């Protein structure tokens, strides 16, 4: 259990506080280092972040036959009419220089001789995706960024602490409350500016590729503090998560299909040609819905990803982490097709920000998956997420420098300690069934009503209770926004409203101050 609040002391006062030690958080911390004292807070450990698990790669228009304008058009097409063009231009325009900087800091991308190797993934018109060690791109980028951040005297990293709330004073964010695992107390940490880089929310769902720490804490804490949340109904479900009894829902990267892996149904038939002209390389939401349709048609629990036609030794060399993980659970991908099933993977929406990461609350910034810059629109283009973390983490860091020297808040009150009285497993099951890949207005309304009726009560909190609160808040926000969006667009599919509607070519916005979901 965590007990009480420790009063802020000089040791818990920083110029800048970065919540999250993935790619976005570390990149921001590096940018902030010259402007003041920086604390990076990692939930659980430095190895548990979505960045660490990112296999697919990082996209940028660096090859000789590619152009920034092509990367922009591919991103806009994937976003299904909801991308913010300025955000996309910032992403793809600053992407090449951002990659060069990563290599300058020691990131080792895969090469053939001296030349970088560029792969193609779903919905990309060119080979523009860089990988590191085959399928450990996020891990390699995180390694290089952490080494760079650790070399800077003004950057401090603390792990095994979970941030549970934002501290607000005079309508401005002035710090956070963190559950400190070593002291078993809740610590109030003040800062001149706070960056949320907390990653995703996949663990709101029963089926997810995300690490256990991805419980939507950033979105939930920002919402509780009064920040605007945008486009949260757009959750990307990765079509190919490993579906083996006793194994985690380990992601089988999109790059496997990019290299030529085939999806087969229970009868061994390739079925994607019935659903999309691009077959296995169709956008992720199309592939996920096609798999669900095939499962309903055949009654099978899963489909299979077939890689058995690849040359001997190729899988172990090109995808070493995937290959060895599957072997650990008794599956040799070179011999047997992998059973796969869709799982929650990535949130396009999140805490609403401008192009510099500034949220609707003064003093609060957000970057990476927790943020909604509008760059992904209704559906993220494959391998744009790591690039977003690098580009917008740097932009947020530069913008936060303006808050250097901000005096400490005179009086900060810790938030309430009320928690939902709910079963966590049941909550995740309901989220998966009612606001997963296929949705309907009737089921979403039932879920909204059920979550709204959940009783809340005071309790002595521990990390599990804080995470339950986060999942409950985020599940309700997803359901509310999905119910309000009476159309199908990108990753959001309503069986009762299967068409896109022009009046919904807008961003959803919700906050604790306004019960109704707005579209702007």
**CATH (domain of 98):** 3.50.50.60
Shared domain for 420 and 330, answered yes or no, is no
Q: Do residue 284 and residue 338 come from a single domain? A: yes
Same domain, 147 and 209: yes
Beta strands 38-41; 155-158: pairing state:
parallel
Q: For residue 301, what is the domain's CATH number?
A: 3.90.700.10
Q: How do residues 271-301 score in pLDDT, each as one tens digit?
A: 999 999 999 988 888 899 999 999 999 999 9
Residue 45 confidence class, pLDDT cut points 50, 70, 90: low
What's the pLDDT at 11? Answer: 56
Q: Of 383, 403, 423, which residue is a domain's last?
A: 403
| Separation in Å, CA 51 to CA 25, 167, 317, 322, 394 | 10, 27, 22, 16, 16
Query: Based on the structure, what is the number of domains in the chain?
Result: 3
- Whether residue 253 lies inside any domain: the answer is yes
What's 171-188 look like in SS3? CEEEEEEEEECCCCEEEE
Measured between its terminal Cα atoms, the distance across the chain in Å is 42
**Could you tell me if 498 and 423 lie in one domain?**
yes
**Domain presence at residue 410:** no
- Could you list the residue range(s) of the whole structural domain that residue 45 is in? 3-232+348-403
pLDDT at 161: 62
pLDDT for residue 460: 81
Same domain, yes or no, for 72 and 137? yes
**Concatenated DSSP letters of 64-107:** TT--HHHHHHHHHHHTTT---HHHHHHHHHHHHHHHHHHHHTT-
Same domain, 164 and 123: yes
Q: Global pTM?
A: 0.93
Same domain, 121 and 135: yes
Tell me how far CA of residue 355 lies from CA of 17, 33, 129, 153, 167, in angstroms: 19, 21, 24, 28, 24
> Whole-angstrom Cα distance, residue 174 to residue 364?
8
Where does the pLDDT of residue 414 fall: very low under 50, low under 70, confident under 90, or very high at 90 and above?
low
What CATH code is carried by the domain that includes residue 514? 1.20.58.100
pLDDT of residue 3: 46
Verify that 191 and 55 share a domain, yes or no. Answer: yes
Residue 46 pLDDT class (50, 70, 90 cuts): low
In a domain, 408, yes or no: no
- Predicted confidence (pLDDT) at residue 6 exceeds the cutoff of 90: no
Higher pLDDT, 91 or 5: 91
Same domain? For 163 and 200 the reply is yes
User: Max CA-CA distance within the chain?
Assistant: 68
Rounded Cα distance between 387 and 418, Å, is 37
Residues 388 and 419 in one domain: no
CA distance 390 to 339: 33
Inform me whether the pLDDT recorded for 261 exceeds 80: yes
Tens-digit pLDDT profile for residues 442-461:
999 999 999 999 999 998 88
Neighbouring residues of 515: CB distance < 8 A, sequence distance ≥ 6: none
Return the pLDDT at 55: 55
Residue 383 lies in a domain: yes
Strand intervals (E) in 329-449:
338-347, 350-352, 364-366, 371-372, 418-420
Task: Output the pLDDT for position 2.
Answer: 43
Decide if 409 is inside a domain.
Answer: no
Q: What is the DSSP letter of 426?
A: H
Strand pairing report for 172-180 and 161-169: antiparallel
Write out the catalytic residue numbers. Answer: 284
Question: 310, 342, 374 — which closes off a domain?
Answer: 342
Residues 344 and 241: their CA atoms lie apart, in Å, by 9
Q: Do 243 and 217 have their domain in common? A: no
Residues 477 and 433 in one domain: yes
């Amino acid at each position: 259990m965590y007990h009480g609040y420790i009063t802020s002391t000089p040791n818990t006062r920083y110029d800048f506080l970065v919540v999250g030690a993935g790619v976005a958080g570390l990149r921001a911390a590096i940018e902030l280092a010259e402007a003041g004292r920086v604390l990076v807070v990692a939930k659980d450990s430095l190895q548990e972040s979505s960045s660490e698990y990112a296999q697919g790669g990082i996209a940028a228009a660096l090859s000789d036959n590619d152009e920034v304008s092509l990367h922009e058009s591919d991103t806009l097409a994937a976003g299904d009419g909801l991308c913010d063009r300025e955000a996309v231009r910032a992403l793809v325009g600053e992407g090449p220089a951002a990659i060069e900087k990563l290599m300058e800091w020691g990131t080792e991308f895969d090469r053939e001789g001296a030349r970088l190797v560029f792969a193609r993934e779903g919905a990309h018109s060119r080979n523009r995706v860089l990988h590191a060690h085959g399928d450990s791109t996020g891990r390699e980028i995180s390694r290089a960024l952490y080494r760079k951040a650790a070399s800077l005297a003004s950057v401090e990293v603390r792990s095994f602490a979970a941030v549970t709330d934002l501290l607000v004073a005079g309508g401005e964010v002035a710090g956070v409350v963190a559950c400190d695992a070593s002291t078993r107390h809740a610590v109030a940490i003040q800062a001149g500016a706070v960056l949320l880089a907390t990653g995703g929310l996949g663990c709101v769902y029963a089926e997810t590729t995300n690490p256990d720490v991805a419980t939507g804490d950033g979105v939930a804490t920002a919402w509780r503090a009064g920040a605007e949340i945008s486009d949260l109904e757009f959750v990307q479900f990765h079509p190919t998560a490993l579906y083996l009894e006793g194994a985690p829902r380990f992601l089988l990267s999109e790059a496997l299909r990019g290299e030529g892996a085939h999806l087969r149904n229970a009868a061994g038939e390739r079925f994607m040609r019935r659903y999309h002209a691009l077959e296995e390389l169709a956008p992720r939401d199309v592939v996920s819905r096609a798999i669900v349709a095939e499962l309903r048609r055949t009654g099978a629990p899963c489909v299979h990803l077939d890689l058995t036609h690849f040359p001997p030794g190729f899988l172990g060399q090109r995808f070493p982490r995937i290959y060895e993980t599957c072997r650990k659970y008794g599956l040799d991908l070179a011999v047997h097709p992998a059973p796969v099933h869709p799982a929650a993977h990535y949130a396009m929406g999140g805490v609403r920000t401008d192009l510099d990461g500034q949220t609707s609350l003064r003093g609060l910034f957000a970057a990476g998956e927790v943020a909604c810059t509008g760059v992904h629109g209704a559906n993220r283009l494959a391998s744009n997420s790591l690039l977003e973390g690098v580009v917008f983490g740097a932009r947020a860091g530069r913008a936060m420098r303006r808050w250097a020297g901000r005096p400490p808040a005179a009086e900060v009150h810790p938030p309430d300690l009320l928690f939902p009285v709910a079963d966590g497993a049941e909550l995740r099951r309901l989220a998966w069934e009612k606001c997963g890949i296929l949705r309907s207005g009737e089921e979403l309304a039932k879920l909204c009503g059920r979550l709204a009726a959940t009783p809340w009560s005071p309790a002595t909190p521990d990390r599990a209770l804080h995470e339950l609160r986060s999942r409950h808040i985020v599940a309700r926000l997803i359901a509310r926004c999905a119910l309000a969006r009476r159309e199908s667009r990108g990753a959001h599919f309503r069986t009762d409203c299967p068409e896109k509607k022009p009046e919904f070519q807008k961003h959803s916005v919700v906050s604790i101050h306004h019960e109704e979901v707005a579209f702007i």
